[in-house]
Chains A and B, each alone.
Chain A
Amino acid sequence: MKKTAYYFLLFGIITCSTTIAQDSTASKVDEIKGEVEGIKESYLETKSTVDALKKIKISGYIQTQFQSAESDGAASFSGGNFSTGMHNRFMVRRGRIKFTYDNSISNLVLQLDATEKGLGLKDAYVYFTEPWLQTFKLKAGVFDRPFGFEISYSSSNRESPERSRLFQTLFPGERDLGASFEITPQDGLLSFINFKGGMFAGNGVNPEVDNQKDFIGRLGFQFPFYDENFAIDGGISTFFGKVKRAAGKNIYLVNSSIFPHTISTDNSADRNYLGLDLQVYYSIPVLGGFTLRSEYISGKQVGSSSSSSTSPTGLFTGDLYQRNFMGYYFMYVQNLGEFNQLVLKYDQYDPNTDVEGDQIGWNTDAKLGTGDVKYSTFGIGLVHYWNDNIKFLFYYDSVTNETSKYLAGFTEDIKDNVFTMRIQYKF
């Protein structure tokens, strides 16, 4: 009897212990499940925060260079004129930082340029893509003018240190204030063409000073032949603009060497360009890919007596000179293996196609001067990509100017060739 009672007691203890153990395991599992759910919730919360932060993108690059010119104080389009008495210099050519808020169909971009010369605005625009076809886009603010190829080709990717003299003269700073419309079909036959065009203040990144608006636009095409590793891209661009005449000042139509030139009585002078651009890409077996790029622009340009550039920070206060101009460039970039590129470039800019040589300056009353001198530049360079971030550039610009025995300082070729050594870090 005692024995039976003992077994009952033992059985009871074991059963209770098992039940308690099972209860304990079940409660542990519930606890872990709860913790996992908590972690999952926390993960989803973190993910939504990370997804939001991923929309903010920061990129940039710094270009530091050493340059040597042929003569002290050389005037140059390779990063600006050398100071009086100097023929070599270190400089931070570009120090860009770009902030993008990328919300898929709408973007905000702000880009600044910080160098030893100070801080400047490069880009500040909003970019909106309609969500249905994702073909039509609207852009407004300060951004690259939609003209030709070289303007929109980033300075961090460009294989020559600077844009051609042609573009630096016609489009100083590359940017303008305005709004543009873009059509970039995503599918079908039309996906090979694109259009960008809009209205701009015509005053670069400076505040607008008049009611005149410029139309700038480009109709482009892209034909890739993937099987042949060959591509041909190009476009036709136009610029229709006006530059306002100041009260009491003249507009000279400088189309001959005889003075007085025809004087226009209009309130503004014409600034009209027509441009053609073409880029060819092909991969040569063994050697690597190459590109041949070319652009041609001609039209009417407005400037002062000494300069062909239109880059006022305010209204033009002097007489306006309207010239017929022409310019072009050819650029050949050959990849040599994975890390090197050989660069050859030739550009020419003739600010006044109606006069040449000794006609410039022969009659002081004709007011034909430095703003009418034609330049051509031959450049040769080597780009070496150290890694994804760093690249080195060695480049020599040989500049030849038109000469006139009547124009002081231009009776012979000016010693203004420039050698550039540059290091770029991009992230």
Chain B
Amino acid sequence: MKKIIAVVILLIATLGFYLQSNVITVKGSDTLVILAQRWAEKYMQSHAGITIQVTGGGSGVGIAALINGTTDIANSSRPMKPSEREKLKQRYNSLGVEVKVAKDGLSVYLNEKNSLKELSLEQIKDIYTGKIKNWKEVGGKDSKVIVYGRENSSGTYVFFKDNVLFGADFLASMQSLPGTAAVVNAVIKDENAIGFGGAAYAKGIKYVAVKKDNKSKAYEPTEENIKNNNYPISRFLYLYLRNRPTGELKNYIDWILSKEGQELVSKVGYFPVR
């Protein structure tokens, strides 16, 4: 009896392990979604039989999907939190695998008609926490600041909160929009608006140069400034996996980090890591 049960359990386990698929699912960061789609399209062109499905939703959504087993790759514009690592550890006995795939300057957008050219990190913080309410308080015209941001499932939201607001809460009246593209559109339409997001989306609007503090020089989020860490709000973009990749998943990750994959990073507007 004991032996039969033991053999049946081992047999089911082995069968379950060998049932694998050639579909790779990718979910998460809206900042990364366009780049991830370009990678997938290009890779599928040269690898017949492999299907890569890419969806956005935000870094938090992608990481949650990685934990509950509904995606193979989580795109994230922020590092995984210790609490998320802990959940992976509990379910998969793995801390997860982090792959840095691109670098990004988190840009602060203004409408092109706004005369302001630079802001310090502290001023940005004060605007986003509601302490500064009028553009004239930072040298602009006498108009109310209209604040746009991201939803709290977004990695950009978390990164901005941690690295610009230093953990403080966003002001309650901030209009939270689903995706960086929506933030950009809102800023284009409103000359009193301010928003933030990845550099890749910031076309048709104006970047503000950012100063680390009042005494520092202001830098724009250019490739050079981001690569040499002069621009104060730069970050890596990540892919997260449950375990060390093998098979097709490994081939795909290797290709993303290859010259061909990293060229797409530049084309989309981010900065390659290799």
Query: Contact string, B254-270, partner A, CB cutoff 8 A, digits 1/0?
Result: 00000000000000000
A302 to chain B, nearest CB (A): 34
B236 to chain A, nearest CB (A): 14
- A333 to B96, alpha carbons, bound, how many Å? 17
B257 to chain A, nearest CB (A): 16
Number of A-B contacts (CB under 8 A): 103
Query: Is there a chain B Cβ closer than 8 Å to A384's Cβ?
Result: yes
Query: Contact string, A227-238, partner B, CB cutoff 8 A, digits 1/0?
Result: 001110000000
CB nearest to A384 among chain B residues: B16
Chain B residues positioned under 8 Å from A394 (CB to CB):
8-9, 12
Query: Is there a chain B Cβ closer than 8 Å to A85's Cβ?
Result: no
Chain B residues positioned under 8 Å from A333 (CB to CB):
93
Contact B92 A382 (CB under 8 A): no
- A53 to B260, alpha carbons, bound, how many Å? 48
Instruction: Output the residue of A47, A229, A388 with the most chain B CB within 10 A.
Output: A229
Contact A336 B93 (CB under 8 A): no
Chain B residues positioned under 8 Å from A419 (CB to CB):
5
A47 to chain B, nearest CB (A): 7
CB nearest to B69 among chain A residues: A338
Contact B70 A291 (CB under 8 A): no
- A289 to B96, alpha carbons, bound, how many Å? 10
- A298 to B18, alpha carbons, bound, how many Å? 43
Chain A residues positioned under 8 Å from B48 (CB to CB):
none
Contact A281 B95 (CB under 8 A): yes
Chain B residues positioned under 8 Å from A380 (CB to CB):
5-6, 9
Contact B97 A229 (CB under 8 A): yes
Contact B5 A396 (CB under 8 A): yes
Instruction: Output the residue of A285, A291, A338 with the most chain B CB within 10 A.
Output: A338
Contact of B13 among A231, A382, A387 (CB under 8 A): A382
Contact A285 B246 (CB under 8 A): yes
Known pairs A288-B243, A336-B17, A380-B9; A281 contacts B85 (CB<8 A): no
- A326 to B235, alpha carbons, bound, how many Å? 52
Query: Is there a chain B Cβ closer than 8 Å to A339's Cβ?
Result: yes
Contact of A289 among B69, B92, B172 (CB under 8 A): B92
A336 to chain B, nearest CB (A): 4
Query: Is there a chain A Cβ closer than 8 Å to B244's Cβ?
Result: yes
CB nearest to B98 among chain A residues: A226
Contact A381 B9 (CB under 8 A): yes
A117 to chain B, nearest CB (A): 27
Contact A336 B244 (CB under 8 A): no
Contact B242 A338 (CB under 8 A): yes
- A385 to B16, alpha carbons, bound, how many Å? 11
Chain A residues positioned under 8 Å from B17 (CB to CB):
287, 336-337, 340
Contact of A47 among B91, B172, B244 (CB under 8 A): B172
CB nearest to A337 among chain B residues: B17
Chain A residues positioned under 8 Å from B172 (CB to CB):
44, 47-48
B240 to chain A, nearest CB (A): 11
Contact A229 B89 (CB under 8 A): no
Contact B173 A231 (CB under 8 A): no
B209 to chain A, nearest CB (A): 31
Q: Which residues of chain B from 6 to 54 have any CB-CB distance to chain A below 8 Å in the complex?
A: 6, 8-10, 12-14, 16-20
Query: Contact string, A348-385, partner B, CB cutoff 8 A, digits 1/0?
Result: 00000000000000000000000000000000111011
CB nearest to A396 among chain B residues: B5
Contact B6 A289 (CB under 8 A): no
Query: Is there a chain A Cβ closer than 8 Å to B215's Cβ?
Result: no
Contact A285 B13 (CB under 8 A): no
Chain B residues positioned under 8 Å from A226 (CB to CB):
85, 95-96, 98
A413 to chain B, nearest CB (A): 13
- A47 to B170, alpha carbons, bound, how many Å? 14
Contact B69 A281 (CB under 8 A): no
Contact A229 B94 (CB under 8 A): yes
B35 to chain A, nearest CB (A): 23
Chain B residues positioned under 8 Å from A417 (CB to CB):
2
CB nearest to A157 among chain B residues: B90
CB nearest to A153 among chain B residues: B90
- A36 to B180, alpha carbons, bound, how many Å? 23
Query: Contact string, B96-123, partner A, CB cutoff 8 A, digits 1/0?
Result: 1110000000000000000000000000
Contact A335 B92 (CB under 8 A): yes
Q: Which residues of B contact A (CB under 8 A)?
A: 2, 5-6, 8-10, 12-14, 16-20, 68-70, 85, 89-98, 172-173, 242-244, 246
**Apart from A337-B19, A340-B13, what are 20 other A-B pairs with CB-CB below 8 Å?**
A226-B96, A229-B94, A229-B244, A231-B89, A283-B244, A287-B17, A289-B92, A289-B93, A335-B94, A336-B14, A337-B16, A337-B18, A337-B20, A339-B69, A340-B16, A384-B12, A388-B68, A394-B12, A396-B2, A396-B9
11 A–B contacts from the bound complex (CB under 8 Å) = A44-B172, A229-B244, A283-B95, A285-B244, A336-B16, A336-B17, A338-B69, A338-B92, A339-B69, A380-B6, A388-B70
Enumerate the 7 nearest inter-chain pairs by beta-carbon distance, A residue then B residue, closest first: A289-B93, A289-B94, A388-B68, A336-B17, A340-B16, A283-B94, A291-B93
